[in-house]
Amino acid sequence: MANQEENLKNIIAHAKEYGFVFPSSEIYDGLSAAYDYGPLGSELKNNIKQYWWKAMVQMNENIVGIDASIFMHPTTWKASGHTDAFNDPLIDNKDSKKRYRADVLVEEWVAKIEAKIDKEVTKAAKRFADSFDETQFRATNPRVLANQEKIDAANNRFKTAMEADDLDGVRQLIIDLDIADPVSGSRNWTDVRQFNLMFSTEMGAMADGASTIYLRPETAQGIFVNFLNVQKTARMKIPFGIAQIGKAFRNEIIARQFIFRMREFEQMEMQFFVRPGEEMKWYEYWKEARLKWHLTLGISEDKYKFHDHLKMAHYANAAADIEYNFPFGFKELEGIHSRTDFDLKQHEEYSGKKLQYFDPEINENYVPYVIETSLGLDRMFLAIISDAIRNEVLKDGSSRVVMAIPNFLAPYKAAIMPLTKKDGSPEKAREILNTLKMDFNCQYDEKDSIGKRYRRQDAIGTPISITIDHESLDDNTVTIRDRDTMEQERVSIDNLHSIITDKLRLK
Ligand code: GAP
């Protein structure tokens, strides 16, 4: 635990030192759960967005993109259920005065028991070596079975209580599971209350009869209300998807863990409209497709896992998270939800307008079912930087901090560095920069020793450093240095464009 905290602190410090992420309004001591992306952070964030957009919109013939407004007609949120049901159950500890989400307290209790099971399995695997059969062990070992029974019972009680809106039942479960405040150890809990997460504001001057509107808590509704506009204008045939990237706002009860849980954040969402009855096929399809997308980033597969939901959002009939092993453990990175025809039907009812599709193949009108993929851009950013930052001890005993960001996402693709500030090297370096900068974001850097410059580029994740020396003027060659291997190579200036292109190619 202490190690995890230390690790997260290092990531936050690194992100600030090199201009990736700053606390919001820091000169006023910051604003809780709001962050600003700095020069390198906004480059990385834009690159992640572009990569998602390319993979989801531009590489899929049957997906198109939109950019809907953040403000929507207030009835949108009545129809979608957010006004009444977008709540988190919260509980306070009377001694520590800390506030928690009741569902998170139960989830953390479950994770502890799961860890006990995993420990038993690891111990047994060591003891039985090659003859160990994990499936059989999990199905028969009495201690594993007893713990699994405890987990199932707790999950079932929680699900039943939440479905019945039985908040006393949720509190009783927390007491029966003997859950203590993680900060103070106290078990002195208040009642559980529901807390709506939407931010509201006024639109228009009071004299004009201002109305209360909401900052959207998800981008998805901008897609649902535009379903027919998009289907008709883009001439889409079911199955098809509508994607969008944009800000969402939630008044989170507990907002900590850096950019993992913010009150203002960005989502990359896609709603895939399908024929009723085919939703489970497409749900499985998108679960697999989205995991594959994550794996193309080159982050190790064991950092991801699926988590099937017990507590479903009010609109879903099946839901799973792609969880990522963040510095504070496995947590939700992306949600894949089967949203049925809930949203479109609700908007039909509240707007009085038909939101149906005529399917020429079966000669029928229907309200499509929807599979949604919803990825938090900021969480993706955190996943990438936390995987990338490495402290390496080198062969000569010295050390370096390197950010092994996937090359194609790196803020700068190449650093252009004249070895000295004289003898025409800077001019030659700028000449090279001018030939590359249209296609690649490059940084020109002539300050400090070459060793220091290499370290700086390592620390911000630049895949290639290009050094121009006095020979470059004579023989049109430069030295390139690879961020990851630190190997150096002499290459012709004429080949730089294709060398960088190759480095950025997604395998
Ligand atoms: N439209 C469905 C939806 O919004 P969600 O599971 O509530 O579903 C989707 O959110 C994704 O948005 C999450 O998987 C997460 O990556 C991101 N997200 C949600 N709340 C967030 C927050 N407070 N801060 C940062 N990212 C958040």
CA angle 34–36–37, rounded 5-degree value:
140
Compute the distance between CA of residue 144 and CA of residue 148 in angstroms, rounded to an integer.
6
| CA of residue 332 to ligand 1 center, whole Å | 8
pLDDT of amino acid 208: 60
Mutate to test the pocket of ligand 1, among 337, 374, 380 (most ligand atoms within 8 A of CB): 374
SS3 415: strand
Exposure letters 148-176 (e unless 16+ CB within 10 A, then b) = beebeebeebbeebbeeeebeebbebbee
Mutate to test the pocket of ligand 1, among 379, 380, 381, 382 (most ligand atoms within 8 A of CB): 379
Nearest CA residue ID for atom 16, ligand 1: 376
User: Is 414 in contact with 457 (CB distance < 8 Å)?
Assistant: no
| CA of residue 339 to ligand 1 center, whole Å | 15
User: Is 371 in contact with 319 (CB distance < 8 Å)?
Assistant: no
Phi then psi for residue 354, to 5 deg, are -75, 135
pLDDT of amino acid 311: 66
Sign of the dihedral defined by the CA atoms of residues 105, 111, 117, 119, in that order: negative
User: Is 457 in contact with 465 (CB distance < 8 Å)?
Assistant: yes
Question: Who contacts 92 (Cβ-Cβ below 8 Å, separation ≥6)?
Answer: 98, 99, 100, 189, 190
Phi then psi for residue 486, to 5 deg, are 65, 10
Nearest CA residue ID for atom 24, ligand 1: 261
pLDDT of amino acid 317: 84
Q: Which residues pair with 322 in a beta bridge?
A: 306, 334
Nearest CA residue ID for atom 14, ligand 1: 334
Helix axes of 167-176 and 142-163: crossing angle, nearest 10 degrees: 160
Nearest atom (ligand 1) to Cα of 379: 16
Nearest atom (ligand 1) to Cα of 334: 14
| CA of residue 315 to ligand 1 center, whole Å | 15
Pocket of ligand 1 (CB under 6 A): 218, 220, 250, 252, 261-262, 265, 267, 269, 332-335, 372, 374-376, 378-379
The structure's pTM equals: 0.88
Task: Please state the length of the chain.
Answer: 507
Nearest CA residue ID for atom 12, ligand 1: 376
| CA of residue 376 to ligand 1 center, whole Å | 5
pLDDT per residue over 150-204, tens digit each? 999 999 999 899 888 899 999 999 999 999 998 889 999 999 999 999 999 988 7
Query: Which stretches of the chain drop beneath a pLDDT of 50?
Result: none
CA 59 remoteness from chain centre: 21
pLDDT of amino acid 206: 61
Mutate to test the pocket of ligand 1, among 48, 332, 340 (most ligand atoms within 8 A of CB): 332
Exposure letters 416-443 (e unless 16+ CB within 10 A, then b) = bbbbeeeeebbebbeebbeebbeebebb
Nearest atom (ligand 1) to Cα of 321: 14
pLDDT of amino acid 507: 61
Nearest atom (ligand 1) to Cα of 250: 23
Whole-number Cα distances in Å, 29 to 14, 133, 411: 19, 55, 28
pLDDT of amino acid 2: 60
Q: How is 200-269 classified by DSSP, letter by letter?
A: EEEES-GGGT-EEEEB-S-SHHHHHTTHHHHHHHTT--SSEEEEEEEEEE---SS--TGGGS-SEEEEEE
| CA of residue 51 to ligand 1 center, whole Å | 19
Task: Give all domains of the chain, ordered by start, each with its CATH number.
Answer: 40-73+197-392 (3.30.930.10), 87-196 (3.30.40.230), 412-504 (3.40.50.800)
Compute the distance between CA of residue 33 and CA of residue 254 in angstroms, rounded to an integer.
9
Q: How is 419-439 classified by DSSP, letter by letter?
A: SSSSTTHHHHHHHHHHHHTTT
Compute the distance between CA of residue 274 and CA of residue 372 in angstroms, rounded to an integer.
11
Q: Tokens for 394? A: 């080198």
pLDDT of amino acid 145: 94
Nearest atom (ligand 1) to Cα of 380: 16
pLDDT per residue over 443-493, tens digit each? 999 999 999 999 999 999 999 999 999 999 999 999 999 999 999 999 999
Question: Who contacts 266 (Cβ-Cβ below 8 Å, separation ≥6)?
Answer: 45, 245, 246, 247, 248, 376, 377, 378
Sheet containing strand 369-376, edge to edge, reads: 63-65, 240-249, 264-274, 369-376, 329-340, 318-326, 304-308
pLDDT of amino acid 211: 85
| Residue in the structure block whose two tokens are 């479903």 | 312
